[in-house]
Structure 1
Amino acid sequence: MNTDSNSRIYTVSHLNAEVRRVLENEMGIVWLVGEISNLTIPTSGHWYFTLKDSQAQAKCAMFRGNNRRVTFKPANGSQVLVRARLSLYEPRGDYQLVIESMQPEGEGRLKQQFEKLKMKLAAEGLFAASEKSTLPEQPKCVGIVTSKTGAALHDILQVLRRRDPSLSVIIYPTLVQGEGAAIEIAQAIGRANTRNECDVLIVGRGGGSMEDLWCFNEEIVARTIAASQIPIVSAVGHEVDVTIADFVADVRAPTPSAAAELVSRDTGTRIQQLQQHVEALEFYTERYIQEHNKHLTQLQHRLAMQDPKKQIERQQQQVDTLTMRLERSIQQRMQRETQHIERSHQALLLHSPANTVQQQHSKLALIQQRLQDAMNRKMTAERHALSLKMETLDAVSPLATLSRGFSVTQSAKGSVIRSVNDVSEGDTLVSILPDGKVRSKVL
Structure 2
Amino acid sequence: MNHLNDSSQNRAQQIFTVTRLNSAVRMILEQDLGLVWLTGELSNLAMPSSGHWYFSLKDMSAQVRCAMFKGNNRRVPFRPQDGMQVLVQARVSLYEPRGDYQLIIESMQPAGDGMLALRFEELKRRLSAEGLFDEGRKRPLPREPRAVGLVTSATGAALHDMLTVLKRRAPDLPVFIYPTQVQGSTAIGQIVAAINLANRRTEVDVLIVGRGGGSLEDLWCFNEEAVARAIAHSAIPVVSAVGHEVDVTISDFAADLRAPTPSAAAELVAPDRSARAQRLAHLHQRIAQAMARRQTAASHQFALLQKRLDHQDPKRRLEQQSQHLDELANRLQQLLASRLHQGERRLANLELRLQARSPEKLLAAGKRRHQLAEERLFALMAKRQSQADHSLAMLSARLDGVSPLATLGRGYSITRTRSGEVISRASQTAPGQTLVTTLAEGSLTVRVDSISD
Q: Distance in 1 between matches of 2:90 and 2:211?
A: 35
Q: Could you report, residue by residue, the CA deviation over 1:47-73 in whole angstroms, capped at 9, with x for unpaired residues? A: 5455567999765322467668x6x51
Q: Distance in 2 between matches of 1:242 and 1:30?
A: 19
Q: Distance in 1 between matches of 2:212 and 2:171?
A: 23
Q: Are 2:198 and 1:220 aligned?
A: no
Aligned to 1:163: 169
Q: Could you report, residue by residue, the CA deviation over 1:274-317 in whole angstroms, capped at 9, with x for unpaired residues? A: 9xxxxxxxxxxxxxxxxxxxxxxxxxxxxxxxxxxxxxxxxxxx
- Label 1:82 to 1:149 Cα distance change in 2 as closer, same or farther (>3 A): same
Q: Are 2:139 and 1:138 aligned?
A: no
State the one-letter code of the partner of 1:32: T
Q: Distance in 2 between matches of 1:55 and 1:16?
A: 32
Q: Are 2:224 and 1:209 aligned?
A: no
Q: Are 2:36 and 1:32 aligned?
A: no
Aligned to 1:97: 103
Aligned 8 A contact 2:272 2:278 in 1? no
- Label 1:171 to 1:87 Cα distance change in 2 as closer, same or farther (>3 A): same
Number of residue equivalences: 259
Shift, 1:19, TM fit: 11
Aligned to 1:73: 77
Q: Distance in 2 between matches of 1:198 and 1:30?
A: 42
Aligned 8 A contact 1:159 1:257 in 2? yes
User: Could you state the TM-score of these two structures normalised by the residue count of structure 2?
Assistant: 0.49
Aligned 8 A contact 2:29 2:93 in 1? no
Question: Which residue, 174, 178, 194 being the options, matches 2:200?
Answer: 194
Q: Could you report, residue by residue, the CA deviation over 1:387-417 in whole angstroms, capped at 9, with x for unpaired residues? A: xxxxxxxxxxxxxxxxxxxxxxxxxxxxxxx
State the one-letter code of the partner of 1:116: E
Shift, 1:200, TM fit: 0.8
The two structures, once aligned, show a CA RMSD in angstroms of 3.9
Secondary structure (helix, strand or coil) at the match of 1:61 reads: strand
Shift, 1:269, TM fit: 9.2
Aligned to 2:119: 113
User: Could you state the TM-score of these two structures normalised by the residue count of structure 1?
Assistant: 0.50
- Label 1:220 to 1:271 Cα distance change in 2 as closer, same or farther (>3 A): closer
- Label 1:38 to 1:185 Cα distance change in 2 as closer, same or farther (>3 A): same
Q: Percent identity?
A: 59
Shift, 1:205, TM fit: 0.7
Aligned 8 A contact 1:36 1:79 in 2? no
Q: Distance in 2 between matches of 1:104 and 1:50?
A: 16
Structure 1 runs not aligned, ≥5 long = 1-12, 275-443
Find the structure with the greater CA-based Rg.
Answer: 2
Shift, 1:212, TM fit: 1.3
State the one-letter code of the partner of 1:163: R
Secondary structure (helix, strand or coil) at the match of 1:267 reads: coil
Secondary structure (helix, strand or coil) at the match of 1:130 reads: helix
Question: Which residue, 234, 237, 251 being the options, matches 1:231?
Answer: 237
- Which piece of structure 1 moves more, 160-169 or 243-252? 160-169
Aligned 8 A contact 2:26 2:96 in 1? no
Shift, 1:85, TM fit: 4.9
- Label 1:31 to 1:141 Cα distance change in 2 as closer, same or farther (>3 A): same
Q: Distance in 2 between matches of 1:219 and 1:80?
A: 25
Aligned 8 A contact 1:39 1:50 in 2? no
Aligned 8 A contact 1:30 1:85 in 2? no
Q: Distance in 2 between matches of 1:81 and 1:40?
A: 19
Question: Which residue, 255, 264, 283 being the options, matches 1:258?
Answer: 264
Q: How does 1:35-434 map to 2 (within 5 A)?
A: 35=42, 38=45, 40=47, 47-49=53-55, 51=57, 59-63=65-69, 73-77=77-81, 79-85=85-91, 87=93, 89-91=95-97, 96-267=102-273
Aligned to 1:315: none
Q: Distance in 1 between matches of 2:77 and 2:207?
A: 40
Q: Could you report, residue by residue, the CA deviation over 1:171-227 in whole angstroms, capped at 9, with x for unpaired residues? A: 001111111211111110000010011121000011112111111111111111111
Structure 2 runs not aligned, ≥5 long = 1-16, 281-453
Q: Distance in 1 between matches of 2:204 and 2:258?
A: 18
Q: Distance in 2 between matches of 1:272 and 1:138?
A: 10
Q: Distance in 2 between matches of 1:126 and 1:57?
A: 36
- Label 1:23 to 1:34 Cα distance change in 2 as closer, same or farther (>3 A): farther
